[in-house]
Structures are given as C-alpha cells and as structure tokens.
C-alpha cells in the first residue's frame, strides 16, 4: 500500500454508465488519505448525483465553469493550480475529442488546459466508438501531448456488446495513481505473518469450544500488508473467507495447530508478527472419541479444561525476535487491559477493541480500535475493516521502522 497523504487529486467525471465506478475510486483515494476534489460534466450528473460524490470526497462538487462562489470567479485556474494530478474517470469519447482539440467549454476541459499537473484519462465507451478512426486519432494526439491513457479494458458492455472500451477497474486505476504519486510501499521487502479467525478445541467428534471471530479483520490486514509490499503468510483458523491476492495461506484448527504453524513460519526470516486470531485460552483436558451422550435424568455436565499455549508470548521470546503486534478483544477497561497485555507478553504494539459493542468487532464489517504502545495510545475512528486495515498497516509500519533494525541486520547470523 502506497499512501497518498496530502496528494491533491482532481477527479473528473464525464457522462457514461461507468460513472458509478468513480464513487469507488473516490472512496479508495480518501482511504489512502488523498485530498479529492470532484469535477463533473453536466452529462455526468445525469448518471450519478453530485451529492453522492460530495459525501465520498468530503468537498462540494464543482460543475460550473464560471462559478461566482469560486475564488474571484476563476474556478478553473484555482483548480488547475491546486491539483497534483487530474484523473478523468470515466473519460467519454466526447471528452477525449474536446480535450484533444483544446476545447475549453466546461470546467473540466478548462482546468485540464490550464494545469501543469499530469493528466490521466480512463476511457470508457462502446467498443465501436473506441475503435473508430476519430477516437484513435484523438488518443494519438493526447499521447503526444503527454496525457496518460490508462485503458480501456475489454469485456462485456452495458449495451450488450463485447470488446474493448470498458473503464479500468478502480483498484487498477488506484495502483497506477499510487505508482505515479505515492511514496514507496511502507513494507516493501518485509516479511509479515498474521494469525486470524477463531480456533476450535474439540470436545468430541461433533462438538468444540470456540468463539465468534469471523476472521474479517485478520484477512483485511493480510490484504493491506500485501498491498503495502510485504511478503505475507496468513495462518487462519476455520473461516469461510477468500484468500487475499498475493497472500500465502495456512489453515489450522486448534490453538496448538496455530502455534506449530507460527513456529514453523517463524523459523525463517520474519520481520513483523501480527496476532489477530481469537485463540482459545483453554481446551478440554481430553476429547472424547465418541459423541458425548446425555444420560437419562442428567442435569449437568462438568468439563475439565487445561490451558492452551500462549502463541504471542512464545513467538515474542524467539531470537531473532519479530516486531510483535497483539490484538486484544476486551469488554471493559479497554486501554488498561491492553497496556497490561503489552507488558505481560512483551509485545511492541497492542490493537484493542471493545467486543461488547454490537455495532463493531466480531462478525461486523466495521471496527473501532485503540493502538497502545509504550509511547502512548491512539484511538482510530469507526470505519470499515478494510479501510481500518490499511490505516493500521501504515501505523504498524511506522512503529516497526522506528524500533527495529534493518532486516538484513536483524536476521544476520552472529
């Protein structure tokens, strides 16, 4: 993941069915901490509303060339100077023609003519329009002028045709923007191990002790770590989630399985270990070979439990020691309990969340966490777990960089 902090992106949206994809692109840019100013052509407002983009960007959407509310009514100059990048997605055939001709008849084309910032366009149109000689000439002119042509892709189209002309997906556009403007990935060259999901401790062949962990936060962190350039191994308990791209997955069931997998992976080079899994603290002293039956008149059942191994503390004692991040699921005294865990398990960072709340945490798509380190604490606002994962990886990368030696020295043999 390459952050786009303080990068100013003018997101131009023109008329076309692909305009709905601009909403996702805008949201993802904001997740990466970019400043986004949306400019819509009149045709674009027929497909999606300015109010939607205002909510996603956090700024009023600009549509008028001569806006009396703009600075000195010179909004196009103001925007042209402000932008670090003008990204037009989707870019219709009409817009490409007007831009190639140097026409300045709306706010978006005028800002493009007045800017010194790079301009990137993501064409989106019917396959016949894309193949037409006029569009090909216009694109050739734009390429000579230094405009970046990103796409189009190929596939099924809203009109029922098949072929080139689809706007590139927001994720691919985001990656290209990051490559153009972003800082180097914060975890490039680092190896990261993440545990996720619940563990299951068998009571008999059909029953087990477990918890409500869905694995969503751990999987989101694995995806974010891979985006941030890391080599990621994800050790997961039983969950029904898709493995994120670029992530090596190891499936386990019990706490002892998870510890064995963690020790095996950590026998090689590991720079960061993130323990997100909700590991059972205790397991049945023995698992029955056959299903436990309820006897006639039986009023209760006593279980004998023994302590499970402490995965976090075990890995924290290893040499060389990775940068250790532990998660703490708490129902009370959130920060105090997290700080106690930080000291007891000798980890570098604890990410604590309140699982007593029904709107966040276990099973939810959103979360609120507090980061606790020896230097202090920071509470992050409520947000989707995917967005939180990206922000957490940035924070973890920053803490790790400040505390650990370069990987080549940390893993060098004495």
Which of 81, 131, 89 is CA-nearest to residue 110?
81
Alpha helix (H) ranges present in 132-215? 133-144, 170-181
Question: What are the structural domains of the chain?
Answer: 8-181 (3.40.50.1950), 191-281+305-410 (3.40.50.10300)
Residue 211 CA to residue 132 CA, distance in Å, equals 59
**Mean pLDDT value of segment 276-305:** 91
316: left (phi over 0), alpha (psi -120 to 50) or beta: alpha
Which residues is 202 bridged to in the sheet? 208
Q: Write down the mean pLDDT value for the chain.
A: 88
Residue 75: its pLDDT value, please?
59
Residue 291: its pLDDT value, please?
92
Element (H, E) at 222: helix 216-227
Contact 312, 275 (CB under 8 A): yes
Residue 77 CA to residue 17 CA, distance in Å, equals 29
Tell me the helix, strand and coil percentages in the chain, rounded to 5: 35, 25, 40
Residue 184: its pLDDT value, please?
64
How much of the chain, in percent, has pLDDT values that exceed 90?
A: 59
- What are the distances in angstroms from CA 218 to CA 223, 239, 272, 332? 9, 11, 14, 22
CA atoms within 13 A on the CB side of 128: 3
Contact 174, 25 (CB under 8 A): yes
**Mean pLDDT value of segment 249-278:** 96
Cis peptide before 90 (omega within 30 of 0): yes
Which residues 6+ apart lie within 8 Å of 334 measured at CB? Answer: 328, 352, 353, 354, 370
For the question of whether the overall pTM of this predicted structure is more than 0.75, the answer is no
Residue 338: its pLDDT value, please?
93
pLDDT one-digit tens code per residue, 215-230: 999 999 999 899 888 9
- What are the distances in angstroms from CA 377 to CA 261, 335, 340, 369? 31, 8, 13, 10
Task: Let me know if 112 is a catalytic residue.
Answer: no
Contact 122, 165 (CB under 8 A): no
First to last CA, the chain: 33
pLDDT one-digit tens code per residue, 25-35: 999 999 888 99
pLDDT one-digit tens code per residue, 99-112: 999 999 899 999 99
- Say which range, 9-13, 154-158, 211-215, 262-266, has the weakest mean pLDDT: 154-158
**Which of these is catalytic: 23, 112, 159, 266?**
159
Residue 410: its pLDDT value, please?
43
C-alpha 270 chain-centroid distance:
22
Question: When comparing pLDDT for 355 and 229, which is higher?
Answer: 229
Read off the pLDDT band of 183 (50, 70, 90).
low
Residue 70: its pLDDT value, please?
60
Residue with tokens 């706490």: 255
Residue 210 CA to residue 314 CA, distance in Å, equals 21
Question: When comparing pLDDT for 50 and 155, which is higher?
Answer: 50
- Say which range, 185-194, 315-324, 343-352, 384-393, has the weakest mean pLDDT: 384-393
pLDDT one-digit tens code per residue, 70-125: 655 445 677 888 999 999 999 999 999 999 999 998 999 999 999 989 999 999 99
Which of 316, 329, 393 is CA-nearest to residue 357?
329
Beta-strand relationship, 272-275 and 247-251: unpaired
Q: Cβ–Cβ contacts within 10 Å for residue 171, how many? A: 13
- Say which range, 5-14, 104-113, 192-201, 290-299, has the weakest mean pLDDT: 290-299
């Amino acid at each position: 993941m390459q952050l786009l902090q303080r990068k100013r992106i003018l997101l131009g949206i023109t008329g076309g069915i692909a305009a709905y994809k601009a909403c996702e692109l805008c949201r993802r840019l904001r997740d990466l901490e970019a400043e986004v100013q949306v400019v819509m052509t009149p045709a674009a407002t027929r497909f999606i509303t300015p109010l939607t983009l205002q909510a996603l960007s956090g700024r009023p959407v600009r549509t008028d060339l001569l806006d009396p509310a703009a600075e000195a009514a010179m909004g196009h100059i103001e925007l042209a100077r402000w932008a670090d990048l003008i990204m037009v997605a989707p870019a219709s055939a009409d817009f490409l023609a007007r831009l190639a001709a140097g026409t300045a008849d709306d706010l978006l084309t005028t800002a493009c003519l007045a800017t010194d910032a790079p301009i990137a366009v993501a064409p989106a149109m019917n396959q016949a329009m894309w193949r037409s000689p006029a569009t090909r000439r216009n694109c050739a002119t734009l390429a000579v002028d230094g405009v970046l042509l990103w796409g189009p892709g190929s596939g099924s189209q809203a009109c029922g045709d098949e072929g080139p002309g689809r706007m590139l997906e927001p994720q691919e556009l985001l990656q290209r923007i990051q490559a153009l403007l972003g800082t180097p990935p914060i975890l490039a060259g680092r190896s990261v191990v993440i545990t996720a999901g619940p563990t299951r401790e068998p009571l008999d062949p059909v029953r087990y002790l477990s918890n409500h962990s869905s694995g969503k936060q751990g999987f989101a962190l694995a995806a974010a770590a891979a985006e941030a350039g890391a080599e990621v191994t994800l050790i997961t308990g039983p969950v029904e989630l898709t493995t994120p791209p670029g992530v090596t997955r190891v499936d386990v069931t019990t706490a002892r399985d998870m510890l064995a997998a963690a020790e095996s992976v950590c026998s090689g080079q590991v720079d960061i270990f993130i323990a997100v899994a909700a590991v059972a603290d205790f397991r049945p002293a023995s698992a029955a070979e056959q299903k436990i039956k309820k006897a006639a008149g039986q009023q209760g059942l006593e279980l004998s439990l023994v302590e499970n191994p402490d995965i976090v503390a075990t890995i924290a004692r290893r040499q060389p020691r990775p940068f250790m991040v532990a998660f703490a699921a708490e129902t009370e005294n959130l920060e105090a309990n997290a700080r106690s865990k930080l000291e007891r398990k000798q980890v570098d960072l604890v990410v604590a969340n309140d699982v007593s709340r029904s709107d966040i945490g276990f099973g939810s798509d959103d979360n609120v966490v507090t980061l606790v380190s020896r230097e202090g604490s920071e509470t992050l606002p409520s947000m989707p777990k995917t967005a939180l994962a990206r922000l957490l990886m940035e924070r973890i990368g920053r803490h790790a960089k400040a505390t650990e030696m370069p990987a080549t020295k940390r893993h060098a043999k004495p």
